[in-house]
Structure 1
Amino acid sequence: MRMLPSSFQLSGNRLSLDPHDPDFVQNPYAAYAELHRVSPAFFWEQYGHWCFAGFDAVSALLRDRRFGRQILHVATREELGLPGPNPALANFDAVERHSLLELEPPGHTKLRKLINKAFVSRNVERLRPQIEALANRLIDGFAPGKPVELLERYATPIPLVTICGMLGVPVEAGPQLVAWSHAMCRMYVLDPSNDDARNADAAAGEFSAFLREHIVERRQNPADDLLSALIAAEQDGDTLTLDELISTIVLLLNAGHEATVHQIGNAVKTIVESGRDPAVLFADDKASAATVEECLRHDAPLHMFTRYALEDLTFDLEGHPVALKKGDTIGLMLGAANRDPRRFDEPGRFDPARDKNDNVSFGAGIHFCVGAPLARLELQVALPVLFERLPGLQVTEALRYADVYHFHGLERVPVTAG
């Protein structure tokens, strides 16, 4: 086992660990293994809240309706001792306010029902031919025998072009959408800087203005796309407001490419380092699906998801009660849960043939990722096409993960066809 990160200090169930520690960024799994061994429920001092690393606990808490993504619907800021809204994040907060990811029922229920129809597996499967054509077209654009950086040239365009096409948003705006998305996602890391906050708020404002113009145009000229469908959709007599539409489209565009880009890069690294034959891993649709699920388990793109306790409660973890007060945050360690030795034999081993390769990478419960069927399809197409078209694919430099925990993705993936 690799050495623990230098900042790792565990005393009972109190953890001190700098999430920016380079050793942790590059290999969080050594720390997770020690936590599984000693204390799968722990108070992470840098974050200031309890975290849960066990597969069963994470899976249960994702489904536990005593926890939610919102808290101000059941308590006031004054009651919880929370500061008022930051005026410098007015644009960012406006987008977050109506985000499907942040809502609880009944608001969440309305939005989810309107969006679900587009993302069910049978509808998503119809996109397979065009995703496959896109993947091949991207590889056709690689210069023969020359190194190529996969994140920029392959992993990013596949989910971005796909979700833009579904929504009816101009693909030509893709680079700008990615820049806005990256800026906004910096707000989800620990202690974002003032510059990060300014950039995120500016990105949210510009993103919203872009979409507002596009929504006005679509209202006047509906098309066969998801945006037009959402504008026209009605649920129990309600339609989406302009603010709800903007928040929903921002979420679908951001979530529709960020995690998939990371997962394609992580999967390429996993497969290359495993030494396994890609022709076997992707021999048919069944093998491809199993390989993708194992990649999702083995090196997930999102490692923590948070919830608020909606009431005073005690969560019992194998006879060790954790007392929580209403408004307390908990961290659900998705990447750690996927490596739980009590759930998976030799959890650090990449093995698509293992009996259990289920994972919590897409969450669970009412906030299970609405785009999971699309992400799985993109992975099941992008990875086989890549390894078939570039036999003997080799990584040309040491791969490094970006310092953006709790996201978990590589900075670059430069490769040659070998």
Structure 2
Amino acid sequence: MKKLSCDPADPGFVQNPYPFYDHLREAGRMVWWEDLGLPVIAGYDGVSMALRDARFGREAPSGFEPDIPVHLRPFYDIEDHSMLELEGDRHKRLRGLVLRAFTSRRIKGLVPDLEEITNDLIDHFPQDADFDLLPAFCKMVPVRIICRLLGVPEAMSEQLLGWSNAMVAVYTPGRTIEIERAAATAATEFAAFMRGYVDERRSSPADDLITSLIAAEEEGEKLSTDELITTCILLLNAGHEATVHSLGIAVKTLLEHHTPREMIMDGRIDGVIEEVIRFDPPLHLFQRWVYEDTTFLGQALKRGDKIGLLLGAAGRDDDAWDDPNVFDPTRPVKQNMAFGAGIHFCVGAPLARLELRVALPILFARCPNLRLLEVPRYAQTWHFHGLERLMVRT
């Protein structure tokens, strides 16, 4: 296996990781990334196959479970019930029950809410002033719609964001013990808050996702209270993080490439969205455990090894797309890896796409003179690929 080196914390790499991804693909189908201490896959076909292969998964194989520090136990008490971290029958059962409540009909029914939220946020944009579009728009669309989806007051948006940001920070490289303690505290407080809402909905059902999750049943199985709480937290943490980044990157990309406004507003928005998340997706690395001694892409792997799947690199593979480093919203749509694939394909992908489909046309229609005031920079968290700020003027 060939070896390549690139510091994932290097600012040049963080701002533009794609040239290194090209080097990885040129070096082989699986390459040892020395700085990560991990074999990684950067090609579209390899990433797609690995995501669908039962020899690999998110849950640690028996005997390889990581030691959890006592101060982080409250955080992992939540993670223990997350469908994102489970495999096999536990994952199948949990995902099946969640999908019974998180239906396409429910998601489509959010369109009027999304339109209302988007217009309300734009109504409050500063006039004749520079401002950061991330807190003014990109961060608020997802959290407010998830509040409405769950049936939680939108007045709680800032508090939910605080908890979510503290928990997600655990996944950043080089995290400190202060970050870990903050994540554990946020997990405890978030879980207590959601437990109160679950208890309330058990006695007073409403037309919201929490009530539907409580009612969901499959072959006599129902979600436990802990599973309900974790699922609601997962929807906010994973769904909010990815959509904030996708919205911010979409606005940046469309403005930088002078995308004709009619492409965004005349019904071609779906193709534009798929090209944005192919070209510059919000999540760049997903790790998988190896469940058995095996050979994959010509390389020998041992049970208990880990492999890295570079979702961000897969979308720039010239074996899968013509001129992949060119942003072309007119290109034919092909499945990208931005939301994963296989049994762990993101359950929130339809909602994330809907948020982009509704919010972007309204934003560009109501702000025809929207422009960037500086070259946007990415935050120093490479695998969570999102902007530091997005300074604009309308």
1:296-307 equivalent positions in 2, closer than 5 A? 296-307=277-288
1:41-56 equivalent positions in 2, closer than 5 A? 41-56=30-45
* Residues 182-231 of structure 1 deviation map (CA, whole Å, 9 limit, x = unaligned): 11112212232212111111111111111122222222211111111112
Aligned with residue 203 of structure 1, among 171, 176, 186: 186
1:83 is displaced (CA, Å) by: 4.9
- Residue 213 of structure 2 is matched in structure 1 by 230
Hey, what's the Cα distance between the residues in 1 that align with 2:2 and 2:115? 48
1:242 is displaced (CA, Å) by: 1.8
Hey, what's the Cα distance between the residues in 2 that align with 1:93 and 1:126? 33
Normalised by the size of structure 2, how large is the TM-score? 0.96
1:18-417 equivalent positions in 2, closer than 5 A? 18-72=7-61, 75-76=62-63, 80=64, 83-279=66-262, 281-285=263-267, 287-316=268-297, 321-417=298-394
Q: Which ranges in structure 2 are unaligned for 5 or more consecutive residues? A: none
- Residue 9 of structure 1 is matched in structure 2 by none
SS at match of 2:67: coil
Residue pair 1:302, 1:408 contacting (<8 A) in 2 also: yes
SS at match of 2:4: strand
SS at match of 2:40: strand
Hey, what's the Cα distance between the residues in 1 that align with 2:134 and 2:251? 10
Residue pair 1:294, 1:357 contacting (<8 A) in 2 also: no
Hey, what's the Cα distance between the residues in 2 that align with 1:33 and 1:83? 32
* Residues 334-368 of structure 1 deviation map (CA, whole Å, 9 limit, x = unaligned): 00000111111111111011135431100000100
Hey, what's the Cα distance between the residues in 2 that align with 1:139 and 1:356? 30
Query: Residues 152 and 271 (structure 1 numbering): CA distance in 2 closer, same or farther, change over 3 Å?
Result: same
Q: Which ranges in structure 1 are unaligned for 5 or more consecutive residues? A: 1-11
Per mean C-alpha deviation after superposition, the further-off stretch among 295-304 and 347-356 is 347-356
- Residue 6 of structure 1 is matched in structure 2 by none
Residue pair 2:377, 2:389 contacting (<8 A) in 1 also: yes
AA aligned to 1:25 is V
Hey, what's the Cα distance between the residues in 2 that align with 1:122 and 1:201? 35
1:398 is displaced (CA, Å) by: 2.4
SS at match of 2:84: coil
- Residue 7 of structure 1 is matched in structure 2 by none
Tell me how large the CA RMSD over aligned residues is. Answer: 1.5
Residue pair 2:98, 2:216 contacting (<8 A) in 1 also: no
Hey, what's the Cα distance between the residues in 2 that align with 1:358 and 1:234? 31
1:118 is displaced (CA, Å) by: 4.0
SS at match of 1:330: strand
Per mean C-alpha deviation after superposition, the further-off stretch among 119-128 and 28-37 is 119-128
Hey, what's the Cα distance between the residues in 1 that align with 2:224 and 2:57? 23
Residue pair 2:101, 2:216 contacting (<8 A) in 1 also: no
Query: Residues 83 and 65 (structure 1 numbering): CA distance in 2 closer, same or farther, change over 3 Å?
Result: closer
